[in-house]
Chain A
């Protein structure tokens, strides 16, 4: 088959459409999904694109099934993904836990929506805790929090590669704004950009005689002995921790010299960045730090930013009531910088909000 995207092309599309294109160019063979706002259009666009490129789609009876069928597909050696939001994300934590346990290269797009609720469909950043540590496990998963369409595209390509390289489930964390808004992005063929696509491979049904020609493929999701589970989790933790240096992603600016460090993630970081620039132009020494990977969290990089900036205060801004701040605090335990916050659960944050907050606390 020819290339899906030849020359890089600019497009003015919704984030959900960007998800479908990114999964297509990443070589995803199939999407399993169940409708939920605000990710519905991921399914709509995928089902429009899939037949043209010999890809497939299965609408399952619910999110549990969408998650488990994705778990099944990847075991057979097929790049597969799902997308969900809100209570769908809650339901999918069971299959996501299985993906953690069995080290499955599952990719999921999460478009956060407001809570607590089963029916609130509006924007929020309230699925941080759920997406990073939502399972009945230890959070051995990789989570990228994007801030716009270009990153949705770039990080989904990365998500498939990281999932199939390291065999941990990977989540791209967007939100209702990113899902629904239209803005420009550049779409490209990953291999033309020097990104080698990791080839999928079957995890079960392998050839060769077990014990002689190959090791058995144990994809276990049930342990009945405490000691056995202990060994498995400790091994998983060690493997996860060993790869974290390669997985950490973050952005920072003006961190060389600052009075206040503004930390945010996802779409809110756009407002935080504008706020930092505006504050700087008014003579206030603000700095910008944004973790892109929330799991693993770029903790050392944030500690370094605190140290080199000399900032005495940190402002954490998020469209949630402290989910991101909790994650951050545990990661930088021991730092003495004073942490202030701007929590606006379910509400979009604009540069004005951040600027006003900074002025009120400096």
Chain B
């Protein structure tokens, strides 16, 4: 695979850094090169939490980058905070529940995609798997890692919780699958419109 760059941004507590770490670890376990770095300034305490992830077959250079292949903003203020990471080749994703100020959306993007992750989490699954839906969406949009290694990495990260409550495993895997499905569907929608 050639270099793939992803930006995930949301509020503290939305679990952005957790899924970034799991995705990077899943890629590493597939023997890919992976690099993950959180923003760690004071803004992370009460500001927008941003994760930068890169995947490649080859050695990865600088830890950060100008434009992402996929940029996902999960809160209202995460949109203006990440819009400049979107370029002509970027899939810019935001949660469909956000009341979007059109002016704040990126000026450049290959496609701007609302995904109803929060709504799906709250109404179909459980609010706590919101971030796992997003993780599934990243896989659906990019194929950064295989679905199986994503599940393995999730299992590894959440082993203690799964052991306590095995139903959480199914819930998380369902969230992952739904996220992937929603992302794949969203890409098809565009293709149909273009056709």
* A interface, CB within 8 angstroms of B: 12, 37-38, 119-122, 176-177, 180-184, 267-268, 270-271, 273-274, 348-352
Q: In this assembly, does B24 line the interface, its C-beta being within 8 Å of a C-beta of chain A? A: yes
Docked-complex contact A274 and B34, CB < 8 angstroms? no
Beta-carbon nearest neighbor of B35 in chain A: A183
Assembly CA distance A122 to B34 (angstroms): 22
Docked-complex contact B34 and A184, CB < 8 angstroms? yes
Q: Which residues of B contact A348 (CB under 8 A)?
A: 62-64
Counting from the closest, the 5 A-B pairs by CB-CB distance are A181-B37, A274-B61, A271-B62, A12-B28, A350-B62
Q: Which residues of A contact B33 (CB under 8 A)?
A: 183-184
Docked-complex contact A181 and B35, CB < 8 angstroms? yes
Docked-complex contact A182 and B37, CB < 8 angstroms? yes
Assembly CA distance A129 to B25 (angstroms): 36
Docked-complex contact B61 and A350, CB < 8 angstroms? yes
Partner of B42 from A119, A177, A183, A350 at Cβ < 8 Å: A119
Q: How far is the CB of A320 from chain B (nearest CB, A)?
A: 16
Docked-complex contact A181 and B63, CB < 8 angstroms? yes
Assembly CA distance A271 to B61 (angstroms): 5
Q: How far is the CB of A87 from chain B (nearest CB, A)?
A: 14
Assembly CA distance A119 to B42 (angstroms): 9
Q: In this assembly, does B38 line the interface, its C-beta being within 8 Å of a C-beta of chain A? A: yes
Q: Which residues of B contact A38 (CB under 8 A)?
A: 40
A-B contact pairs, 6 of them (CB 8 A): A12-B24, A182-B35, A183-B35, A184-B34, A270-B63, A350-B65
Docked-complex contact A184 and B28, CB < 8 angstroms? yes
Beta-carbon nearest neighbor of A179 in chain B: B40
Docked-complex contact A121 and B35, CB < 8 angstroms? no
The dominant DSSP class at the A interface is: mixed
Q: Which residues of A contact B62 (CB under 8 A)?
A: 267-268, 270-271, 274, 348-351
Q: Which residues of B contact A120 (CB under 8 A)?
A: 41
Assembly CA distance A102 to B37 (angstroms): 39
Docked-complex contact A180 and B61, CB < 8 angstroms? no
Beta-carbon nearest neighbor of B41 in chain A: A122
Assembly CA distance A37 to B21 (angstroms): 20
Beta-carbon nearest neighbor of A274 in chain B: B61
Q: In this assembly, does B60 line the interface, its C-beta being within 8 Å of a C-beta of chain A? A: yes
Q: In this assembly, does B173 line the interface, its C-beta being within 8 Å of a C-beta of chain A? A: no
Most buried by B among A38, A122, A181: A181
Docked-complex contact B21 and A351, CB < 8 angstroms? no
Docked-complex contact B61 and A270, CB < 8 angstroms? yes
Q: Which residues of A contact B123 (CB under 8 A)?
A: none
Beta-carbon nearest neighbor of A271 in chain B: B62
Q: Which residues of A contact B60 (CB under 8 A)?
A: 183, 270
Q: How far is the CB of B52 from chain A (nearest CB, A)?
A: 9
Assembly CA distance A56 to B66 (angstroms): 43
- Contact A37 B40, CB 8 Å, known A12-B24, A182-B24: yes
Assembly CA distance A37 to B43 (angstroms): 13
Q: How far is the CB of B149 from chain A (nearest CB, A)?
A: 13
Q: Which residues of B contact A350 (CB under 8 A)?
A: 61-62, 64-66
Q: How far is the CB of B38 from chain A (nearest CB, A)?
A: 6
Q: How far is the CB of B12 from chain A (nearest CB, A)?
A: 16
Q: Which residues of B contact A37 (CB under 8 A)?
A: 40
Assembly CA distance A351 to B61 (angstroms): 8
Most buried by B among A122, A182, A349, A351: A182
Assembly CA distance A271 to B25 (angstroms): 23
Partner of B41 from A121, A270, A271 at Cβ < 8 Å: A121
Beta-carbon nearest neighbor of B37 in chain A: A181
Q: In this assembly, does B130 line the interface, its C-beta being within 8 Å of a C-beta of chain A? A: no
Q: In this assembly, does B36 line the interface, its C-beta being within 8 Å of a C-beta of chain A? A: yes
Beta-carbon nearest neighbor of B60 in chain A: A183
Docked-complex contact B61 and A181, CB < 8 angstroms? no
